[in-house]
Structure 1
Amino acid sequence: MIEQLLPDEVSCVEAFTDPPDVELFPEEEAIIARAVGKRRQEFTTGRWCAHQALSRMGIPPAPLLTGERGAPQWPEGTIGSITHCAGYRAAVVAHTEKVQSLGIDAEPHEALPDGVLDAVSLPAERAHLAELSTSDPGTHWDRILFSCKETVYKTWYPLTHEWLGFEEARLHLHPEGTFTAHLLKKGADRTGAPLTEFTGRWLVGNDLIITAIALPAT
Structure 2
Amino acid sequence: MTECPLQDRDLTEARWALLRPLVSPTVAIAAQDPLAAPPAPFAAEAACLSPNAVEKRKREFAAGRAAAHQSMRALGKPPAPIPIGPKRAPLWPDGLVGSITHCSNCALAAVAARATHQGLGIDVEEDAPLSRDLWPAIASPDEQAWMATQPDPGLAGKVLFSAKEAAYKAQYALSQRYFGFDGLTLSFDWANTGFVACFSRAQPPFLAGQRLRGRFAIGSGVIITAVEILNNESCP
Task: Give me the TM-score of the superposition, normalised by structure 2.
Answer: 0.84
| Structure 2: distance between partners of 1:23 and 1:87 | 17
Is the 2:35–2:104 contact (alpha carbons within 8 Å) kept by the matching residues of 1? no
Give the equivalent residue in structure 1 for 2:31. Answer: 14
The answer to whether residue 228 in structure 2 is matched with residue 210 in structure 1 is: no
Say whether the 8 Å CA contact 1:157–1:164 is kept in structure 2: no
1:129 aligns with 2:147: yes
1:156 CA drift (Å): 1.5
| Alpha-carbon distance in structure 1 between the residues aligned to 2:143 and 2:20 | 27
Q: Which of the residues 83, 87, 105 maps onto 2:123?
A: 105
Residue by residue, what CA displacement relative to the aligned partner does 1:70-110 show, whole Å, maximum 9, x if unpaired? 11111111100000012110000000111110001111111
**Partner AA of 1:216 in structure 2:** L
Which amino acid letter does the alignment assign opposite residue 140 of structure 1? L
Structure 1: tracts of 5 or more residues without a match: none
**Counterpart of 1:44 in 2: which secondary structure?**
helix
In structure 2, the residue matched to 1:151 is: 166
Q: Which amino acid aligns with 1:5?
A: L
Quote how far apart the aligned CAs of 1:130 are: 1.9
- Does the CA contact (< 8 Å) of 1:171 and 1:182 recur in 2? yes
**Residue 81 of structure 1 is aligned with which of 60, 85, 99?**
99
Aligned to 1:186: 202
Q: Which residue of 1 aligns with 2:177?
A: 162
Q: Deviations for 1:118-176, whole angstroms, at most 9, x for unmatched residues?
A: 11110011111122x1xx33871010000011111111112111122101111011112
1:201 aligned onto 2:194? no
The residue number in structure 2 matching 1:3 is 20
Q: Which residue number corresponds to residue 95 of structure 1?
A: 113
Q: 1:40-79 CA deviation, whole Å, 9 max, x = no partner?
A: 0010000000000011112122211111321111111110
Alpha-carbon distance in structure 1 between the residues aligned to 2:50 and 2:221: 32
Moved more, 55-64 or 96-105: 55-64
Conserved? CA contact 2:121–2:228, under 8 Å? yes
Q: Distance in 2 between matches of 1:67 and 1:31?
A: 9
Unaligned 5+ segments in structure 2 are: 1-17
Partner of 1:69: 87
* Distance change in 2, residues 1:207/1:21 (3 Å): closer
Q: Secondary structure at the match of 2:111?
A: strand
Query: Bigger shift: 28-37 or 161-170?
Result: 28-37
Distance 1:138 1:188 in 2: 33
2:65 maps to 47
Query: Which position in structure 1 is the counterpart of 2:3?
Result: none
Aligned-residue Cα RMSD (Å) equals 1.8
- The letter of the residue matching 1:23 is A
Question: Aligned equivalents of 2:38 and 2:156: distance in 1?
Answer: 37
User: What amino acid does structure 2 have at the position aligned with 1:26?
Assistant: A
Paired with 2:46 and 2:88, the residues of 1 have a C-alpha distance of 14
Task: Check conservation: 2:38, 2:66, Cα contact below 8 A.
Answer: no
Between 64-73 and 2-11, the greater mean CA deviation after superposition:
64-73
Aligned equivalent of 1:25: 42
